[in-house]
């Protein structure tokens, strides 16, 4: 009997021990989430988002600022709502939307705050702030979004939006978290590391209803947010406003550079959009509408659109041929239209024998057919096919040193390089069949397989203005308070063509505007403009109007390229817009106001 009682007592002790162990395990392991919830009810970590750096124009005029917004955060374990309908009415959301958002937050964490409603404005705050104390578990998180002083430069400035999971995965520094905002395009993306600043943290004491009771331990564990660095852009706001005005209702691009620095004075992609549309609560709705627009306003034409260069390329051909020694400034070649067609006219009849400057001024196609043939066919090999390959590749090497055929390296994402064909390209195109100059001659006049982007053509105009070198085009003049340009944009890039040959090109471009194909709309009083027209074939649609120019001839201040799609001859839209822009920048006004209505109307027939 005593032994039986002893077994019972021992069994009770064992059972109590087991129950105690199970309870201890439960307290230590299974209930950790409840303990964490209790801790978070008392001490709550809050992110302090930094002010993003501002963006200014070259004269210190503000282009991009910040405006306050708020995210409504939720801690699901603290939520107790008696009147859901009233709460939904306060937030202007439907009941099913409320349920979906709360479920998403619960899946993320019961005890950690996550966004419930994003990008609430000051007006939204005024509506709900007085009532939030009645709804435990909901907290307002201050943030900022972008604001714009003018509705310009959308493609160049870019936009910010919430970081994607893929971008978080690519973040090797582990800086970003879900819900952060990041530069997605333009300057906002390219200079993200400078503009973003550094997050701070604050630890707050809150009661179980979520009401703030003060700082945890006097804020000794808090870290302050560090504002992002502001940047000064190279853009001239007044010139940019005028350039966008001139391109309204058109498709194409404008790029204006300062030749002596490579700084971008104005850059227009048309059509464009109002950058303020990609801020605030309606970001997703507006982005969808803009991205589905058939006119492609998000497509950054100055950097991404590849066009044939047209007759503007005759300047490149001239400089390469002069350097190679296959022609001189006095080389006369006949306008033989049995080789290739020519526009001709009163100043340039069939059969005219022109020197180089005259051929450029009158844009003679047969002249440059023959110049290119001299460049490609140099009898370097007895086989005409191998000879053409040798000559073409030598030509390709020259042309690429002008900045064609690969991206220039502008400080914006998405830049394309265009295409300058070489022998390998034609070997692939002809699939092993032999080819020679007579198969590829259209590249002589900027047609055929040549493709350039508008930024390259503006850079070429700047290269001629500098008599043989260029600085890499860029949009940021300085970062922070340094006032100093970035070192990579202060190096000269030389073409390898003697400066003396550039003087011949400068004279020819001056003649184009004084008495050649560009004389009617690009000629300015008191400013010697040097330019070149281009009419880019776009079959079966109307041709593109192209013009490049720089001014003044000596000590140039501005170089421009203008592309207006489907606008016909370069002497029309392209030349008129270039003249107006050059005068606006140099004189800060435009006296050629009779051309402005012509451009704004957009009827270039």
CATH code at position 294: 3.40.710.10
Q: Is 26 within the bounds of a domain?
A: no
Across the range 317-335, mean pLDDT stands at 96
Supply the pLDDT for residue 13: 54
- What is the spatial distance between Cα 69 and Cα 372, in angstroms, rounded to a whole number? 61
On whether the CB atoms of residues 355 and 323 are closer than 8 A, the answer is no
38 domain-assigned: no
Q: Distance between CA atoms of 523 and 576, rounded to whole angstroms?
A: 9
Quickly count: other Cβ atoms within 10 Å of residue 213's Cβ: 10
Place 46 in a pLDDT band, splitting at 50, 70 and 90. confident
- The pLDDT score that the predictor gives to residue 27 is 44
SS3 215: strand
Q: Kindly tell me the sign of the dihedral angle through the C-alpha atoms of 154, 157, 162, 166.
A: positive
Is residue 3 pLDDT above 90, yes or no? no
More confident residue, 535 or 547: 547
Q: Do residues 93 and 117 touch, judged by C-beta distance below 8 A?
A: yes
Q: DSSP string covering 355-381, please? A: -HHHHHHTT-HHHHHHHHHHHH---SS
pLDDT of 600 > 70? The answer is yes
25, two tokens: 């395990």
Between 222 and 435, name the one with better pLDDT.
435
Q: What is the pLDDT of residue 211?
A: 65
Question: Any idea what the CATH number is for the domain that residue 134 is in?
Answer: 3.90.1310.10
pLDDT at 480: 93
Confidence of residue 8 (pLDDT cuts 50, 70, 90): low
What's the rounded mean pLDDT across residues 36-48? Answer: 64
Residue 208 sits in the same domain as residue 269: no
Q: CA-to-CA distance for 146 and 144, rounded, in angstroms?
A: 7
Domain boundary among 233, 252, 276: 233
Question: 116 near 138, Cβ under 8 Å?
Answer: yes
Report the pLDDT value the prediction gives residue 248, as an integer from 0 to 100: 94
How far apart, in whole angstroms, are the C-alpha atoms of residue 302 and residue 290? 18
Task: Please report, for residues 7, 225, 290, the alpha-carbon distance to residue 45 in angstroms, rounded to integers and kept in the order given.
Answer: 54, 14, 38
pLDDT digits (tens, 9 = 90+) for 291-300: 999 999 999 9
pLDDT 10s digits, 349-387: 777 788 999 999 999 999 999 999 999 998 888 899 999
pLDDT computed for residue 78 by the predictor: 85
Q: In 10 A of CB 528, how many CB atoms?
A: 15
Residues 263 and 210 reside in one and the same domain = no
Among 201, 233, 265, which residue terminates a domain?
233
Q: Is residue 4 assigned to a domain? A: no
Q: What confidence category does residue 595 fall into, taking pLDDT thresholds of 50, 70 and 90?
A: confident
How many separate domains does the chain show?
Answer: 2
- Non-local CB neighbours of 380 within 8 Å, separated by 6+ positions: 386, 387, 390, 391
| pLDDT-derived band at 306, boundaries 50, 70, 90 | very high
pLDDT, residue 29, reads 45
Q: 36 lies in a domain?
A: no
Residue 150 in domain: yes
My answer on whether 242 and 229 are in the same domain is no
d(Cα 345, Cα 162) in Å, to the nearest integer? Answer: 58
Q: Are residues 447 and 347 in the same domain?
A: yes
User: What mean pLDDT comes out for the span 108-113?
Assistant: 85
- Do 429 and 329 belong to one domain? yes
The torsion defined by the Cα of 472, 477, 483 and 484, in degrees rounded to 10, comes to -10
Q: Which one of 209, 233, 257 terminates a domain?
A: 233
Please give the pLDDT value at position 11: 55
**Domain shared by 260 and 313, yes or no:** yes
Token pair of 149, please?
């002083």
pLDDT reported for residue 569: 67
* Strand-pair partners of 226: 198
Instruction: Kindly state the percentage of the chain with pLDDT values over 90.
Output: 62
pLDDT value at 580 more than 90? yes
Of the pLDDT bands very low, low, confident and very high (cuts 50, 70, 90), residue 237 is: very high
Find which of 163-177, 331-345, 459-473 is predicted with most confidence, using mean pLDDT.
459-473
pLDDT tens by residue, 374-430: 999 988 888 999 999 999 999 999 999 999 999 999 999 999 999 999 999 999 999
Same domain as 181, residue 317: no
Distance in Å from the first CA to the final CA of the chain: 120
Kindly state whether residue 563 falls inside one of the protein's structural domains.
yes
**What is the Cα–Cα distance from 491 to 489, expressed in whole angstroms?**
6
pLDDT at residue 314 tops 70: yes
pLDDT for 15: 57
Residues 293, 214 within the same domain: no
The one-character DSSP state at 134 is G
Q: Are 255 and 163 within one domain?
A: no
> Span 52-79, mean pLDDT?
94
The pLDDT tens digits for 212-228 are 677 777 777 889 999 99
Residues 263 and 130 in one domain: no
**Domain range holding 116?**
44-233
Check the CA dihedral 285-287-293-297 and report its sign: positive
Q: Are residues 204 and 277 in the same domain?
A: no
Q: Is the pLDDT of residue 592 over 70?
A: no
Dihedral of alpha carbons 229, 232, 234, 237, sign? positive
Both 242 and 223 in a single domain? Answer: no
pLDDT, mean over the chain: 88
Residue range 237-252: mean pLDDT, rounded: 96
Whether 1 is in a domain gets the answer no
563 confidence band (pLDDT: 50, 70, 90): very high
């Amino acid at each position: 009997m005593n032994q039986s009682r002893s077994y019972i007592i021992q069994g009770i002790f064992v059972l109590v021990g087991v129950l105690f162990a199970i309870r201890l395990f439960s307290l230590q392991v299974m209930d950790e989430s409840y303990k964490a919830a209790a801790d978070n009810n008392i001490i709550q970590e809050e992110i302090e988002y930094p002010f993003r750096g501002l963006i200014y124009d070259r004269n210190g005029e503000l282009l991009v600022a910040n405006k306050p917004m708020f995210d409504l955060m939720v801690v699901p374990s603290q939520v107790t709502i008696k009147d859901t309908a009233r709460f939904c009415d306060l937030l202007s959301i439907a009941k099913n939307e409320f349920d979906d958002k709360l479920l998403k937050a619960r899946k993320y964490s019961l005890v950690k705050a996550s966004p419930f409603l994003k990008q609430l404005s000051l007006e939204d705050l005024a509506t709900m702030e007085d009532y939030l104390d009645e709804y435990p578990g909901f907290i307002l998180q201050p943030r900022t979004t972008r604001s714009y002083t003018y509705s310009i430069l959308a493609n160049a400035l870019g936009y910010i939006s919430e970081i994607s999971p893929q971008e978080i995965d690519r973040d090797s520094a582990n800086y970003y978290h879900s819900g952060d905002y990041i530069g997605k395009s333009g300057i906002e993306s390219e200079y993200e590391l400078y503009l973003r600043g550094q997050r701070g943290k604050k630890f707050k004491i809150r009661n179980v209803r979520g009401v703030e009771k003060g700082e945890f331990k006097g804020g000794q564990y808090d870290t302050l947010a560090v504002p992002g660095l502001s940047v000064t852009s190279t853009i001239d706001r007044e010139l940019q406003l005028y350039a966008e005005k001139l391109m309204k209702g058109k498709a194409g691009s404008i790029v204006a550079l300062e030749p002596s620095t490579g700084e971008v004075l104005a850059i227009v992609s048309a059509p464009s959009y109002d950058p303020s549309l990609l801020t605030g609560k309606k970001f997703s709705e507006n982005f969808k509408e803009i991205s589905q627009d058939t006119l492609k306003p998000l497509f950054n034409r100055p950097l991404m659109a590849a066009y044939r260069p047209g007759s503007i390329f005759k300047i490149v051909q001239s400089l390469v041929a002069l350097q190679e020694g296959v022609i001189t400034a006095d080389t006369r070649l006949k306008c033989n239209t049995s080789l290739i067609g020519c526009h001709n006219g009163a100043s340039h009849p069939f059969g005219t024998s022109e020197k180089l400057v005259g051929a450029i001024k009158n844009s003679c196609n047969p002249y440059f057919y023959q110049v290119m043939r001299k460049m490609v066919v140099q009898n370097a090999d007895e086989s005409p096919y191998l000879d053409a390959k040798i000559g073409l590749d030598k030509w390709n090497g020259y042309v690429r040193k002008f900045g064609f055929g690969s991206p220039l390296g502008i400080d914006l994402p998405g830049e394309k390089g265009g295409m300058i064909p070489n022998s390998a390209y034609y070997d692939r195109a002809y699939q092993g069949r032999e080819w020679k100059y007579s198969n590829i001659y259209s590249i002589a006049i900027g047609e055929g397989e040549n493709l350039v982007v508008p930024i390259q053509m503006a850079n070429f105009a700047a290269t001629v203005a500098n008599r043989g070198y260029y600085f890499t085009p860029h949009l940021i003049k300085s970062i922070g308070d340094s006032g100093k340009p970035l070192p990579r944009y202060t190096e000269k890039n030389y073409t390898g063509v003697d400066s003396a040959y550039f003087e011949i090109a400068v004279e020819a471009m001056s003649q184009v505007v004084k008495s050649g194909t560009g004389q009617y709309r690009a000629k300015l009083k008191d400013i010697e403009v040097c330019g070149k027209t281009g009419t880019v074939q776009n079959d079966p649609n109307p041709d593109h109007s192209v013009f490049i120019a720089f001014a003044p001839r000596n000590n140039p201040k501005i170089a421009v390229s203008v592309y207006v799609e489907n606008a016909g001859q370069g002497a029309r839209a392209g030349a008129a817009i270039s003249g107006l822009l050059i005068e606006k920048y140099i004189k800060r006004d435009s006296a050629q106001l009779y051309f402005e209505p012509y451009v704004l109307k957009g009827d270039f027939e």
